[in-house]
Amino acid sequence: MKIAVLPGDGIGPEVAAQAVKVLQALNSEGLKIEMEHATIGGAGYDAAGDPLPEATLALSRAADAVLLGAVGGYQYDSLPRPMRPEQGLLRIRKELNLFANLRPVNVYPELADASTLKAEVVSGLDIMIVRELTGDLYFGQPRGIHVNANGEREGYNTMRYSESEVRRVAHIGFQIAMKRNKKLCSVEKANVLETSELWREVVIETAKEYPEVALSHMYVDNAAMQLVRNPKQFDVIVTGNIFGDILSDEASMLTGSIGMLGSASLDQNRKGMYEPIHGSAPDIAGQDIANPLATILSAAMMMRYTFGRDDVADRIENAVKKVISSGLRTVDIYTAGTTKVGCAAMGDAVVAAL
């Protein structure tokens, strides 16, 4: 198992180090994991003048999976757009063809109180959001800022999806639904957008291959409401890049503990990039207080999706559960009566609980 580790910026290196620790612990028991580190984001820019240095891309291409910390920092905000940290992220997604972004949203019973929603609305919540990641407004051409016929500046971007782009991510949605509760909700805005009209048609066609899955369709504005009103109505959601960006962040915040949520971004061959959904949090970087569990859970997803090792994934996930139920908490999930620990100590605790 060849893994490229890209710690990135801010708290990225700290949280990635804990996931590496967990993988190393598994290694010493016989898993054959090889890890190599490289820079990305602001760290890539600092080291090589590029948020996705060539060496990083080459390493990531050669690897079976990529483990990413986080990218971004205030000092890079004024760089020209192509040099900004998030461009490294967008480019590696595109270069590695990571079209299926899996974002599980689930609530640990012990942490349900951290939600701003009433406990009965979110306890037991378990949604999987499948977000298309290499198309849509993010990459659609033409795009830019120009002077229009009236002599004024105008910004424009293109939402664009081809049938095959929709079909491949729809398949992922259906396949995941088959392994879960067999409910798939496709989210778009077909009452206004032709792109969404095509999206819906292709999803309906694809559904023929999954007769056991109950497929529904929802407009994105309604989905944004339903996630607040009754999030437990959802099992698997499949949606485009920009709608998925918005809805998956909304959904993750329903849990009240985004420091606990990992993600996977997969290509057609189950090669993947794995990262926590939280950002680089530069304000708390270097203080050993960040929550490493989202990154550790991302490593578990790697075992499941890229390496087909559900057993190892389960072990990591159970270790995290054990640590949480033993009362250990980083500051972001701390409540009175629990035990506050730092980032590295949390990593150690997971290793011990493996």
Ligand X SMILES: CC(C)[C@H](C(=O)O)[C@@H](O)C(=O)O
- Binding-site members for NAD(+) are 73-86, 279-291
Q: Which of residues 83-142 bind ligand X (CB under 6 A)?
A: 86, 89-90
Half-sphere exposure of 152 (CA within 13 A, CB side): 2
Nearer to a copy of itself, 23 or 89 (CB): 89
Site for ligand X (CB under 6 A): which residue of 221, 228, 230, 310? 221
Catalytic residue among 245, 321, 334, 340: 245
Residue 74 binding target from ligand X, a copy of itself, none, CB below 5 to 8 Å by type? none
**Residue 232: Cβ within 10 Å count:** 14
| 288 binds ligand X per the rule CB under 6 A | no
Least distance (Å) between residue 262 CB and a copy of itself: 17
Binding-site size for a copy of itself (CB under 8 A) equals 61
Residue 11: phi and psi, rounded to 5, are -80, -5
Cα dihedral 199, 216, 99, 208 sign: negative
Contacts of residue 72, Cβ cutoff 8 Å, sequence gap at least 6: 9, 10, 41, 42, 85, 86, 279, 280, 282
Site for ligand X (CB under 6 A): which residue of 46, 64, 126, 245? 245
Q: Two tokens at 64?
A: 């079976």
Q: Which of residues 191-250 bind a copy of itself (CB under 8 A)?
A: 191-199, 220-222, 224-230, 242-243, 245-250
Mark whether 189 is an active-site residue: yes
Distance CA 22, CA 1 (A): 15
Residue 160: phi and psi, rounded to 5, are -155, 130
Least distance (Å) between residue 82 CB and ligand X: 13
Q: Two tokens at 70?
A: 């986080």
Distance CA 13, CA 343 (A): 11
Structural element, H or E, at residue 279:
none
Q: Which of residues 98-117 bind a copy of itself (CB under 8 A)?
A: 116-117
Under the rule (CB under 6 A), what is the footprint of ligand X? 86, 89-90, 191-192, 221, 245
Catalytic residues: 138, 189, 221, 245, 249
